Amino acid sequence: MDTVTHGIAGSVLARSASERGAARTALLLGLVAGVFPDVDLFFTTSRLQYLREHRSWSHSFVYLPLFALGFALVTRAIFRRARLGVLCLFAAIGLGSHILFDWITSFGTMFFVPFTRERYSLDWVFILDPLFTGIAFLALVCSLIWRSRGRRIAAIGAGILALYILLCAALHAKALATWRQMDRPPPGSIVAALPQFLSPFRWLGLSQRTGEVHVAFFDIGPFARAAPVDPRPPQRLTQVFSSLSDFYPSPERARIRVFHQPPETRLLSECRRQSDVAIYLAFARFPLATLQPQPDGGAVITWEDLRFLPWFAGPWGRDRRGGFRREPFVYRVRVDPTGRALERSFVTSSGVHSVMESAH
């Protein structure tokens, strides 16, 4: 979930738990605490470190009580008449809501750092959801306008937000069942249905089997229509919204694409053991590798996480259909014939950027 939405939602939820005399404190403390967990972004100096550290220590339930107490003590120095326990409650609501609202997305949140760095995700809500943000924002504005009824308004807004999340959870269950019926993955496959941009009815189905990954975009809503046989990808930002329905057909008309993993080789195995690649693969849920042999006997190996596959194009480097953006996390390693890494970098459709290291 985006940071602004976290702040708004934290403010509304804290206000719903406050008495009238503590309304201003609840709104401010809920806002600040709701935003706080994303402070980890200021401690990442590279994109690879971002993949490793974002949603880790600052999103941990283990540290939440300490952060809540710290916020309460600082706030007590400003609002001297406020009770410390009440301030801890408001801060905990803001912090806890941030962690939970990140959990319902598909990025993955590390709840229990430092004991484990395992990521948890429910895949219910897209990371940027205008409906989610709109509900929280409307509740906040109304509670500020009608202050005498602010707590009741905030509580109603929180209830509507909870109902929307439950709706997304139900749609996710339906989408996951639909995807399993569409693709019929064998036992042991890793299967997911991931929420998509601007609609709780649009989903990306993914199943990772031995040696291949199956992918399909589909719409389980009542207004899904037959997509063109070969829809044109958007070339400009202004074409995104008009092209969405062309790439999310009804399940019976969806096209399942199959992407094959390269055969396991010594160079690929050596690449997996590189510390930076291990970080990337710990983050990626549906990694796809591309191996390009080089004249010197080495190889260029590209890793990509198909969770971030654009709806209008195939994986990075595997098609020439164009489009104005590509995947945000594509990692490239060039190795020599012994498997030693010569270059490490993130890439985009326009070339290599964010170079991490170059060995000579």
pLDDT tens sequence across 260-271: 999 999 999 999
Instruction: Strand 299-305: give its sheet, edge to edge.
Output: 287-293, 299-305, 330-335, 341-348, 351-358
pLDDT for 353: 39
CA contacts within 13 A on the Cβ side of 157? 30
- Contact between 195 and 126 (Cβ < 8 Å): yes
Mean pLDDT on 286-312: 91
CA-based Rg of the chain, rounded to a whole angstrom? 23
Residue 351's pLDDT band (cuts 50, 70, 90): very low
Residue 341's pLDDT band (cuts 50, 70, 90): very high
> Which H helix or E strand runs over 101?
helix 84-103
3-state SS, residue 322: coil
> Which H helix or E strand runs over 14?
helix 3-16
Tell me the pTM. 0.89
Mean pLDDT on 304-333: 75
Beta bridge partners of 195: 203
pLDDT at 357 over 50: no
- Check residue 133 and report its DSSP letter: H
Output the 3-class SS for 164-187. Answer: HHHHHHHHHHHHHHHHHHHHCCCC
Beta-sheet pairing, 212-219 with 257-260: antiparallel
pLDDT at 355 over 50: no
User: b vs e for 89-126, b when ≥16 Cβ sit within 10 Å of the residue's Cβ?
Assistant: bbbbbbbbbbbbbbbbbbbbbbbebeeeeebebbbbbb
- Contact between 329 and 305 (Cβ < 8 Å): yes
Q: What residue ranges do the domains of the chain occupy?
A: 3-168, 176-259, 263-358
3-state SS, residue 329: coil
**In the numeric block, which tokens belong to residue 4?**
């602004």
Mean pLDDT on 132-146: 96
**In the numeric block, which tokens belong to residue 154?**
């905030």
Beta bridge partners of 357: 344
pLDDT at 62 over 70: yes
- Each residue's pLDDT tens digit, 89-132: 999 999 999 999 999 999 999 999 999 999 999 999 999 999 99
Strand ranges in the chain using DSSP code E only, listed in sequence order: 190-196, 199-209, 212-219, 257-260, 287-293, 299-305, 330-335, 341-348, 351-358
**In the numeric block, which tokens belong to residue 326?**
């590509």
pLDDT at 36 over 90: yes
